[in-house]
Structure 1
């Protein structure tokens, strides 16, 4: 990740966004700007926005909706006052006719007046709380992107969108897994408690060391793989639903907002 010597847990959200906007930050955002909410982005034409809104409402675990922009707006005051949605993410994916056709550094040239941005909660947010509690996050420790997997768990079809759940995985000892469940339950707007722990085959994951997105991480013999609903789920849904045009963040490359993590905690 470029500029990693200056961007870390203590970086400000604005510094992370500016580094992405200038092309200095091109890697994953996990572990950056501790204490601030990171979000997944789904950007769709207005004609499909109402349908996607219904899909999020029907599937709040993988698609916890935090903010929605006005059509054509590249700003969203609910996330940050100086935001440029088209340039402040380290990497974007562009979808055409259900195919992820490009990964690009910004989408200013692709922007249209009818595009609506959906900001969805991201598990990178609750990682800060896990670290504060003394838990070790393997992909951060190993300098990798979080491993993410397609599952056989079906979502509720709605608004013309359908597909299966995508999950992220973090390995923990049994005691730490219990603590991680307790902590993440406090954050339902960023996926909340895990959806599965233990045998990955029970949710259709055949090979733990070959994630569909992100990077593989080591899992020790005395550790349990713990799986959370993942904000990459809508990206797979866009493919499965064959949308004509859409933009998202590239998996693991989130938008860092000015929203404090503490505002999302239930207790």
Structure 2
């Protein structure tokens, strides 16, 4: 394991990426970067992370914001649920810890949208605490180094290795090195992550229910921006139908659009009142 650590640290120095969220130890800023980077390209997050922090600089400001403003700021980063989870977690942090992001792993994973990997990332990058931070680039390194011929390697096999390799002191630098070495491997060799049992191709977004839900959220936000006060069902059906037709897809039935709006309302994205749908 010592030789593996030396190799990772050397590769990390060689392929170091000077990313803006690496210049802070603020737990809130680290947490936001971890959530934004989930299934999102680094280049897309650079710039958006800074803008988010300028608008919502701490958990208190995020918790107090209009949900529509939070969703508006999130547009383009994918998975709108993550924005809602961030705001809900910020509210809990303000209520339970006086606005300070906790450092205990159990406390972190008790918050909406924070799983073991995100908790480990916050602990490592904000508090320099050891833990099992197993994300795609880290997974790539361990598969490349320990299982060069392995196929469908399960995370349960990797977790003990990740835990053993992480130093008690210097977790922050260690995981940055792993991330940068993993990113380098993905550019230069067949992606080792594809040999993980956890690897799976994401279902197509275009034409999916998820794509239509995202489009409806954007339509609701646009209606708010122009002061329309909301969107009638027939207008939502017409606008979404136009978008779908422009892409060569069938226009959705009114029943489907209403069903999607009700789903969004149940999840906290919007509400219905006086025959109009509007963002919360």
TM-score (norm 2): 0.25
> Relative to total residues, which structure has the larger strand share, 1 or 2?
1
Give the structure with higher Rg (CA).
2
**Higher relative contact order (CA closer than 8 Å, sequence separation 6+):** 1
TM-score (norm 1): 0.26
